[in-house]
Structure 1
Amino acid sequence: MAQFDKIAERFTRQIARRSSRRSLLAMLGMGMTGAASIPLLPVARAAAAEPAHGAHPGGAARPPIPSGLDQDPGDQASCDYWRYCAIDGFLCSCCGGSVNTCPPGTEMSPITWIGTCTNPADGRAYVISYNDCCGTSSCGQCLCNRNEGDRPQVRPQSNNDYNWCLGSASSVYNCSVAAVIGVALDRPK
């Protein structure tokens, strides 16, 4: 150990002879600036490795989930599906459920938020009930956050930012469904 101490002392003294306090402070400043700029460098991030919307974790494209009905067009596993105009969460149609039903092992929250979406097949507006499915951990697939018609949190029935699972036996969120309640009435003129 004494040999190591002598080598370290000799190395430290040589550095002290060749440099000043100002140069040491300048080198420390450059090192700190360089270390602070490392997060700005272009690197491959883990988020870039996540599958794109509608893709399986393995990288294969997710097959579309059509309703099979002419009056209900679109891919139920896509955020662009007409019923999802005010949804915020994971789609149950990608998590083992459907656009109307929760996946097995979860329960539908009795509390809901609502939205009004236009069906492109008939051009009519429909009232959509968005229910959270609760009971197991988040699905983690097909995340959608569309805020069309979202209202401030002072009007909770029209806001999608709450944990609506608080009304069920378990407050653990899994995914969200979009059930058609009925046709929206036109506003009187």
Structure 2
Amino acid sequence: MVLSGARASARRHGRRSALAKVGGFLVGGAVATTLPFDRAFASTPAAGGGVDDDKSCDYWRYCALDGFLCTTAGGTKSSCPVGAEASLVSWVGTCHNPGDKRDYMISYYDCCGKTAFSGAQFCLRSEGERPGYSMGLHNDINWCMSNANKGYHCTVALVVGVAE
């Protein structure tokens, strides 16, 4: 009974059809990995966050930040963690502080020299960002490229001054 069933299946489904199905699955899997995807899930604010919580993506200073928060990676909002150094170059943004209703120029520095910290909060906020027409004018690059150690760790947000 089992032998006759196996022979009948072999007559219906040859080795070539089995290989074609396996090949189709492999090619389909390879194509799926090249499709674009949305990283917006990574920019969700930390639980309990807000415009006054510097461990939240919603913190007012982070309006143009793209990266891991140093406040959740061993540093502060304005200083790199021990063992990391600030990038020699930075990008700037103008952020509105709802507390005093003023706009501030913020300078964002990547902290370099350490590997990424797995528990850090990732934020992607690009309020008012224009299309990148020159590589060095937006936040989508690794600013550690100017340092000797190019390993990215996290990003700090320094208040440079009041925007008039």
TM-score interval for Structure 1 and Structure 2 normalised by the shorter chain? 0.7 to 0.9
| Structure 1: unaligned runs, 5 residues or longer | 1-9, 40-51, 56-62, 67-72
RMSD over aligned Cα atoms: 3.0
Q: 1:15 aligns with which of 6, 9, 17?
A: 6
Residue in 2 that maps onto 1:176: 155
In 2, Cα distance between the equivalents of 1:136 and 1:120?
A: 34
Distance change in 2, residues 1:131/1:19 (3 Å):
closer
- TM-score for both structures, normalised by structure 2: 0.73
Quick check: 1:151–1:158 contact (8 Å CA) kept in 2? no
Where do 4+ consecutive residues of structure 1 move more than 2 Å? 13-16, 18-21, 52-55, 149-158
Number of equivalences: 141
Return 151-160 or 109-118, whichever deviates more: 151-160
Residue in 2 that maps onto 1:54: 46
| Residue 133 (1) aligns with residue 121 (2) | no
| Structure 2: unaligned runs, 5 residues or longer | 30-43
Q: Which has the higher contact order (CA 8 A, sep 6+)?
A: 2
- TM-score for both structures, normalised by structure 1: 0.64
Residue in 1 that maps onto 2:140: 161
For residue 79 of structure 1, report the CA deviation from its aligned partner: 0.1
In 2, Cα distance between the equivalents of 1:167 and 1:106?
A: 14
Provide the identity percentage: 43
Quick check: 1:113–1:158 contact (8 Å CA) kept in 2? yes
In 1, Cα distance between the equivalents of 2:134 and 2:108?
A: 15
